[in-house]
Amino acid sequence: MTTPKNPHAIDTRIREGLSRLATVLRVDDWNRAKAAGLNPTQLAILTLLDGRGARGLGVKEIAAHLGVSQPTATDSLNALERRGLLAKHPGESDRRAVNIAPTAEGTATLRATEAGDGLVEQAIAGLDDREQEDLLLTLIKMIRHLQDTDAIPVQRLCVTCRHFAPFAHADAARPHHCHYVDAAFGQPDLRLDCREHEANPASRAATRDASSPG
């Protein structure tokens, strides 16, 4: 079979590439989960709840972030609770609601799964610093687009946070400013999940400015 003279459109080829990466990510997740005696959904739940503090998240929020049904999320949550890795507590605004947060044992279990590099981490390590930075910015743009079109729940991105001031400094290495910690930082330090995130109504412009100086 010969290679076609006219390749598929570039968006199709990019999607093919992302699909191949997703396959390897699933392998990494299976290996990490298996080492901890979990399944990938249970590991994803612990990862999602990590850094959410004692407040945690509700079942509906967890299901939405993972892209699974509420019954599927509930089954995994119950299994994690039986193992003592999660705890349920009343919601802050509605005492009838139930929020879920990791226990100390759950956090320790998650930390143990992070030891060592997976296949995707090894591939990322093969990129130089500028390539890694460009990839990070591209991922942020794509995630922001998915968020803005309601394809995924709101993410805690630096570039959609009211504390974020893009290109506030002349220093090319650390052009951005975080008003929460009152410090300058660089493009490679942009976060995809910040605990101090507070939504910024002008997030679309902030995202554009973060990746397009001048």
- Look up the CATH number of the domain holding residue 39: 1.10.10.10
Q: For the CA atoms of 126, 132, 134, 139, what is the dihedral angle to 10 degrees?
A: 110
Q: Which of 47, 78, 113 is the last residue of a domain?
A: 113
Distance CA 184, CA 175 (A): 7
Q: Which of 58, 81, 113 is the last residue of a domain?
A: 113
For every one of its 214 residues, what pLDDT tens digit does the chain have, with 9 covering 90 and above? 566 677 789 999 999 999 999 999 999 999 999 999 999 999 999 999 998 888 899 999 999 999 999 999 999 999 999 999 999 887 666 666 789 999 999 999 999 988 778 999 999 999 999 999 999 999 999 999 999 999 999 899 999 999 999 999 999 999 999 999 999 999 999 999 999 999 887 655 444 555 543 3
Residue 55 domain flag: yes
Prediction pTM value = 0.82
Q: Quick one: pLDDT at residue 89?
A: 86
Number of domains within the chain: 2
Structural domain boundaries enclosing 162: 128-211
Residue 69 domain flag: yes
pLDDT tens for each residue of 104-149 = 999 999 999 887 789 999 999 999 999 999 999 999 999 999 999 9
71 & 153 share domain:
no
Q: Quick one: pLDDT at residue 176?
A: 97
Residue 115 CA neighbour count, 13 Å, CB half: 7
Q: Quick one: pLDDT at residue 51?
A: 83
Closest CA to 105 of 78, 89, 83, 79: 83
15 & 93 share domain:
yes
79 & 108 share domain:
yes
Q: Quick one: pLDDT at residue 101?
A: 95
Residue 118 domain flag: no
Closest CA to 162 of 114, 191, 200: 200
Alpha carbon 204 to its chain's center: 18
173 & 147 share domain:
yes
Alpha carbon 100 to its chain's center: 18
60 & 152 share domain:
no
105 & 60 share domain:
yes
